[in-house]
Amino acid sequence: MKSILQLISEELAPAFTACGYDPELAKASNSNRPDLCEYQCNGSMAAAKKYHKAPIMIAQDVVAQAANSPLFEKIEAVNPGFINITLKNDFVSWYLNQLAATGTLGASRYGEGKTVVLDYGGANVAKPLHVGHLRAAIIGESLKRLYRYTGHTVYGDVHMGDWGLQMGLIIEETRSRHPELCYFDPDYTGEYPAEAPFTISDLEEIYPAASKRSKEDEEFARAAHDATVALQQGNPGYRALFRHILAVSVKDLKKNYGNLDVSFDVWKGESDAQAFIPGMIQTLKDQGILHESQGAMVVDVDEPTDTKEVPPCIIQKSDGASLYATTDLATLVQREQDYHPDEVLYVVDKRQELHFTQVFRTARKAGIVRPETKLTFLGFGTMNGKDGKPFKTREGGVMRLEHLIADIDEAVFSRIMENRTVDEEQAREIAKTVGLAALKYGDLSNQATKNYVFDVDRFISFEGNTGPYILYTIVRIKSILRKYLETAEALPKEVAPAVDASEKVLQLLLSKAGETITDSCENIAPHRLCQYIYEVSDAFNSFYHEHIILGETDAARKDGWIALLELTRDILETCIDLLGFSAPDQM
């Protein structure tokens, strides 16, 4: 569906033509003086240069031509040559009814036919999820939903870190505790047990213990390294243990991501890329771009326009071991084979930017991806504590995700209990929904690339630019609609022309729903969607405070308002769903 801006431009274009000016100049924009008008067109300024005429005269010519348009309530030329426009109320309400009928709130399905692989997990197996993985999950989940809404086919891949030294550490630690287990018997020929020899709580204790020990005990460290190599070379007992570690961890990860309302379509990890490494390296060789440097095998990826040094991409170390870049390149081979994607989008900590520059350039040079495949790195900033340093627990340790969530839920719970409108059990349920909104909105409302301060008190506030404020607005609307339905069969659907300024402001904002969704997706910028729903919520609450909706005696007017409320609710709920959270029925 065309945006209102497009419709205004199309309305002005013939007026420009009729006056002898280029219709391309008839571009409308949002008003930067909302006190004077709703939209404006600055085309006369550019026309002035082209036609050597005073801009105000051009603006006056156009205004005289367009004065009788059914779209414009008011169109005027103001110094030095702007065209200020106020729309007719019945045009705006007509537009909203069209928008409601699209089924996508007017958003474009521009992604139809396009396939995207979204890499936004990165959790490391056997290590508990920590806040560092939180941003990837929150931002990635929102992008997945936005991409789908705009028609893309999306494969969300968790891409676990499951192939590193942590595996060898766990294997060695398990051996020293239970040397009798069959996994360590080189002569064992039977089936390995289906049941893992450890639980997730065991693993959570085993890994840090082993990691600590490897720093103090050189022999142990060497053994863990050797076990990692043996695992990678296919030692059957270690392989069986690895499958146990993976199964136990994945089950736990699914639970944790589930609590965040984050899900993945593909549960692959670095280990799945290993099979593609030999072929990938052969490709690099065939292309003649792999060469030796200080014992390692590398690909040069620097470009003459680089302002910062981009070192060669190391593919194999001197001992033959592969690296992070090797795995990511091999994964691209697998993704190309399995999905043939138009875009691969990585949501990863921005400190990994250089790594992705090296990987993308190598992939292009080697033809691992097609020239038209987009490779996008969305590097996010750090979540800091109030002290401005990366977020830690009170004791200074790494905060575990589940503890962080529990803390927020508890804070929201106390807030809800202060009002005492619901019983304790309900309050617990509601606190979960509101807590998740607080957490996700607190993150997503910041531009992803920037660092932000994690401030529970601010995030859970019911006022200001917060998740709970948005939910509160939705809950308020739902409650009015419920009351309306107590005496009516169904909700009226036709939005009516605005009766005053606060209603017009709300209607104009709602008319921007589709273009805002499209724009947030195209620019991989969920924060723009947050800003939008914040403005809609503010506009709705102003409208609400100025009108007695259910008590309105003019039935047609009341029905128009109820339809407007229903559309506002639909837009807010769709947008929060795209951000990855939902609203309760009461709070």
Residues within the interface to ligand ARG (CB under 6 A): 119, 122, 124, 159, 161, 328, 346, 348
Element (H, E) at 29: strand 28-30
161 or 168: CB nearest ligand ARG: 161
Tokens representing residue 107 in the block: 């958003």
Name the minimum Å distance from CB 164 to ligand ARG.
9
How far is Cα of residue 106 from the mean position of the Cα atoms in its chain? 20
Tokens representing residue 384 in the block: 């800091």
Q: Going edge to edge, which strands form the sheet with 296-299?
A: 290-293, 296-299, 313-316
Name the minimum Å distance from CB 273 to ligand ARG.
9
Name the minimum Å distance from CB 140 to ligand ARG.
10
3 or 331: CB nearest ligand ARG: 331
174 or 358: CB nearest ligand ARG: 358
- Rounded CA gap, 296 and 298, in Å? 6
Name the minimum Å distance from CB 290 to ligand ARG.
21
Whether the bond between 80 and the residue before it is cis, its omega within 30 degrees of 0, is yes
Name the minimum Å distance from CB 136 to ligand ARG.
7
Of 374, 465, 354, 379, the closest CA to residue 139 belongs to: 379
Name the minimum Å distance from CB 133 to ligand ARG.
7
Strands (DSSP E) contained in 38-163 are 39-41, 72-78, 82-87, 115-119, 153-157
270 or 515: CB nearest ligand ARG: 270
- The conformation of residue 485, written as its DSSP 8-state character, comes to H
328 or 566: CB nearest ligand ARG: 328
Cα-based distances in Å from 59 to 13, 37, 43, 44: 13, 15, 8, 6
112 or 353: CB nearest ligand ARG: 353
- Rounded CA gap, 317 and 298, in Å? 9
Name the minimum Å distance from CB 334 to ligand ARG.
11
The set of residues, in sequence order, having a beta carbon less than 8 Å from that of 466 and lying 6+ positions away, is 438, 441, 442, 458, 459, 460
Determine the Cα angle at 558 with ends 555 and 559, to 5°.
Answer: 85
159 or 512: CB nearest ligand ARG: 159
Name the minimum Å distance from CB 318 to ligand ARG.
23
120 or 544: CB nearest ligand ARG: 120
Q: Which residue is nearest to ligand ARG (CB)?
A: 122
- Rounded CA gap, 283 and 260, in Å? 40
Name the minimum Å distance from CB 280 to ligand ARG.
14
183 or 360: CB nearest ligand ARG: 360
Q: 3-class secondary structure for 486-530?
A: HCCCCCCCCCCCCCCHHHHHHHHHHCCHHHHHHHHHHCCCHHHHH
